[in-house]
Structure 1
Amino acid sequence: MTLRLCVDERPWPPYLTPSGDGMAQRLLRDAAQEAGATLATYAAPVTRCREEIRYNSADGFPIAPYTPALLPFMAFPMRGGEPDPARAVMSARTLAYRRTGSATHWDGVRFTHLVTPVLVRFGSVLMIDKLAAMGVQTDDSGKTLSANFAKLLAGRADIVVGLETTGLALLALPEFAGKIEALPAPFTEEAYYLGLSKTFYDAHPQLSERLWDAIARQRRSPAYQRALRKALDESLKGQKD
């Protein structure tokens, strides 16, 4: 059985890379082999990936958050009626970033002194859903966190929300150092899963569950954990260089 995965065309180092050797990609290949499946992947804009999964042109997405926008057409590993983080591909935190000294604040529950829409990276459905639930407008026209930081410094927004690892590395660069600061309370701290189309899951429930179980075993292995720590260190160093 071949599983056709649509992958975000933008890199998510160290988890997704254009060369296909990101840590999430390696984890999924090993898990698929254990579960008796093979993977065929192709890259596309993340919004196109979602539509192709919705209409069954693709079978899944490798790092999908469990969020309302995806639930109508995507299946996730569940336990007791809740998503099972033990079978996630990865976990990640996002932070809120502001111009240094700005009065705009995020305390972990709500924003204060926020006037503009919040900038998020294009297609960041988890953050868009959470902000919408809070009644906060978003602007996801920026393709990268670096582009959104530039908009922040230009005064086009009060807050940027983005990945912790990428953001902290960018803050070490001369163009951002001392000009932008990360607020201490995480904005999100979420697991990301191999999200499968509901059509694929309904047709192959046993294979789907075997695959999610294999992801959990492979991710817990000491060899994978060592490789992940090394990849994270190298990714942060590369973004700072």
Structure 2
Amino acid sequence: MRIARLLALCFVAALAQPAVAADLRLGYIDQDLRPFLIGDGPEIPARPGVTIELAQRAAAKVGARLQLTRMPLPRLIEEVRAGRQDGVLSLRYSADRTADLVFPLRAGRPDPDRHVARLSYSFYKRRDNSVAWDGTRLTGLQGPVAVGGSPLISKRVKSLGAQIVRSDTGTQMFGMLAMYRVDAVVTLDAMADRLLPVQGYSQIEKLSPPLVVEEFYVPVSKAFYAANRELAERFWQALGDLRDATYAELTPSYLF
């Protein structure tokens, strides 16, 4: 009788112990893409960016111990393939990447409800010039276009026949536009739509449709998914559940 009671007490005590947190090793690119990712190089700053803070909150919600590393994307993909990283924090979906990675899917396609970030880039111009964009053709340019964001955005603008000027900040780009040094700007909507009213540039307007709209996900390796399927699915769901409120709360503090 005493043995049975002792076993029962041990069982209850075991249940009362907190579960051991699972490790989730995610890497992300070592390039500044504010407000989503902050800073260049391998260091992770104290204020790492909205996307990183979202991932931290999602990991805490599902009881995962998040380990973050920054490195160039080609090396990161190799690290995931080799099993030294579990996944990539913020990556575009492409069919060829599914050979090594598992993305959050719905009906065989990337699940738009479980992306970690949506980046929309648009053209902005002065109201007094004739620059026009119909989603296919860019017309009316007399001067260069200031471009922020990844090299892929610059490549896309160049493909439209524009001369580009690289710029790191929205303040600089819109200052160049207001001073007639460039004819248009291409940058993140999230940044521009908050910055323009603060800067008072009423002579600048956004053109529709966006030049590029991209959704980014947190794919994991096939080996990690096979061993931790429930954790991966819960983490992806937590990203979707927390994303909009987290971005609304944190984005303004990262833009100015």
TM-score, normalising length: structure 1: 0.68
- Preserved CA contact (<8 Å) 2:61 2:238: no
Q: Post-superposition shift, 1:218?
A: 1.5
Counterpart contact for 2:116–2:243, Cα < 8 Å: no
More helix by share: 2
Tell me the CA shift for residue 194 of structure 1: 2.0
- SS class of match (2:56): helix
Match of 1:119 in 2: 146
Whether the aligned pair in 2 keeps the contact of 1:117 and 1:139 (CA below 8 Å) is yes
| Residues 131-150 of structure 1 mapped to structure 2, 5 A cutoff | 131=157, 135-136=160-161, 139=164, 141-150=166-175
Query: Is residue 53 of structure 1 aligned with residue 76 of structure 2?
Result: yes
Amino acid across the alignment from 1:178: S
Paired residues, what number?
224
Deviation at 1:168, TM superposition (A): 1.9
For the Cα contact (< 8 Å) 2:177–2:185, is it kept in 1?
yes
Asked if the contact 1:96/1:160 (under 8 Å) is kept, the reply is yes
Q: Percent identity?
A: 23
For 2:32, give the aligned amino acid: R
- Aligned CA distance change for structure 1 residues 6 and 141 (closer, same or farther; 3 Å): same
Q: Aligned-pair distance for 1:173?
A: 4.1
Identify which range, 95-104 or 144-153, moves more after superposition: 144-153
Which of 160, 167, 191 lines up with 2:215 in the alignment? Answer: 191
Which residue in 2 is equivalent to 1:203?
223
Cα distance in 1, alignment partners of residues 46 and 244 from structure 2: 21
Q: Which letter maps to 1:158?
A: D
Q: What is the match of residue 167 of structure 1?
A: 192
The verdict on how the C-alpha distance between 1:155 and 1:117 changes in structure 2, with shifts beyond 3 A counting, is same
3-state DSSP of counterpart to 1:39: strand
Whether 1:235 and 2:214 are equivalent positions in the alignment is no
Deviation at 1:151, TM superposition (A): 3.8
Alpha carbons of structure 1 residues 170 and 194: separation in structure 2 relative to 1, 3 Å: same
Kept after mapping to 2: 8 A contact 1:34/1:214: no
Q: Determine the structure 1 residue equivalent to 2:133.
A: 106
Q: How many Å apart are 1:141 and its aligned residue?
A: 3.1
> Normalized against structure 2, the TM-score is what?
0.65
Task: Give me the whole-angstrom Cα distance separating, in 2, the residues matched to 1:67 and 1:156.
Answer: 37
Aligned-residue Cα RMSD (Å) equals: 3.9
Q: List runs of 5+ in structure 2 lacking aligned partners.
A: 1-22, 39-44
> What is the distance in 2 between the residues matched to 1:153 and 1:173?
14
The aligned counterpart of 1:214 is 234
Moved more, 73-82 or 161-170: 73-82
Q: Secondary structure at the match of 1:91?
A: strand
Structure 1 residues 4 and 66: alpha-carbon distance in aligned structure 2, compared to 1, 3 A threshold? closer
Secondary structure in 2 aligned to 1:172?
helix
Per the TM alignment, residue 235 of structure 1 is displaced from its structure 2 partner at its CA by 3.4
Contact 1:32 1:211 in 2 (8 A): no
- What is the rounded CA distance, in whole Å, between the counterparts of 2:163 and 2:219 in structure 1? 24
Unpaired stretches in structure 1, ≥5 consecutive residues: none
The amino acid of 1:56's aligned partner reads E
